[in-house]
Amino acid sequence: MNRSELINLIFKKKSFLCIGLDTDLTKIPRHMLDHEDPAFEFNKVIIDSTHDLAVAYKPNFAFYESNGTKGWNSLTRTIQYINKTYPCQLFSIADAKRGDIGNTSQQYARAMFDPASSGMDFDAVTVAPYMGEDSVKPFLGFQGKWIIVLALTSNKGADDFQFFKDHEQRLFEQVLSKSQRWGDDGNMMYVVGATKAEMLEDVRKIVPDHFLLVPGVGAQGGSLRDVARYGLTKECGLLVNSSRNIIYASSGIDFAGKAREEALKIQQEMAGYL
């Protein structure tokens, strides 16, 4: 999915909602555990009940890797289901936070983007830029794919390093500035946490047109209103992620309907901002 297709999808659905598939087998409704592959079946129900309200889905790899080969199978089946059932209707993000020396990053990129190799074919992957250009560029070698660079995260520990100031720029601002040499606004996005919403104004001074993936709305306390106020562009420029508030809205047999209710609340608010 290229930039113009993503923008068209956002305005067609009147939504910039990304739903995080942080599927924890200890938290999903107990009756789902009767399935042979409960994580996939749970994801499938969530996707089917919210696909018209969301523009993107973001499986967090940790929740699948922790279950070994079964988890990888659930993850692979999930992305294959999205691509087969809703072609060109949903943007998929591999929340893997990869980043290593060049030849290793090349293999990570194949895992996310080469279905002949891994069975997975995501639109985008989250990337850690700490090791620099040669650790990131292998992900940009796949035509039509996106990388989402960690810039300013929503966790408490972000203060440990990301605000370190050298001369005129803080570290996250240096990441934003320097990484623009590696890609452009048609293949690169940035992670900027919703709990740092007021910082979006500073972020937009450096990357006025790039899409931002914004986690932290909902369970982490981020404000969608503030994110829209400081981060929206004329082409939207945002994908706002909500995970637990939606997928765990209920632990009963009504979980699909409750997930849809929560997603609808967010989508309706987003429609107003758009």
Q: pLDDT of 38-92, one tens digit each? A: 999 999 999 999 999 999 999 999 999 999 999 999 999 999 999 999 999 999 9
Note the Cα 142 to chain centre separation in Å. 18
Residues 10/274, Cβ–Cβ less than 8 Å: yes
Amino acid code (one letter) for 249: A
Residues 118/72, Cβ–Cβ less than 8 Å: no
* Structure letter (DSSP) for residue 222: B
* Structure letter (DSSP) for residue 195: G
Containing 29, the helix (H) or strand (E) segment is: none
* Residues in the chain, overall count: 274
Of 158, 225, 221, whose CA–CA distance to 192 is shortest? 158
pLDDT < 70: residue spans in the chain = 163, 218-221
Q: How many CB atoms lie within 10 A of CB 58?
A: 25
pLDDT at position 261: 98
Of 226, 237, 233, whose CA–CA distance to 194 is shortest? 226
Beta-carbon contacts of 157 under 8 Å, excluding residues fewer than 6 positions away, are none
pLDDT at position 220: 59
Active site residues: 97
Beta-carbon contacts of 233 under 8 Å, excluding residues fewer than 6 positions away, are 204, 208, 209
Residue-range domain boundaries for the chain: 3-273
* Structure letter (DSSP) for residue 233: B
Q: How far is CA 48 from CA 81, 115, 253, in A?
A: 10, 23, 15
- C-alpha to C-alpha distance for 52 and 49, rounded to whole angstroms: 8
Answer positive or negative: Cα dihedral of 68, 38, 219, 227: positive
Q: pLDDT of 21-35, one tens digit each? A: 999 999 999 999 999
Residues 118/76, Cβ–Cβ less than 8 Å: yes
- C-alpha to C-alpha distance for 256 and 238, rounded to whole angstroms: 25
| Helix, coil or strand: residue 91 | strand
3-273 placed in CATH 3.20.20.70: yes
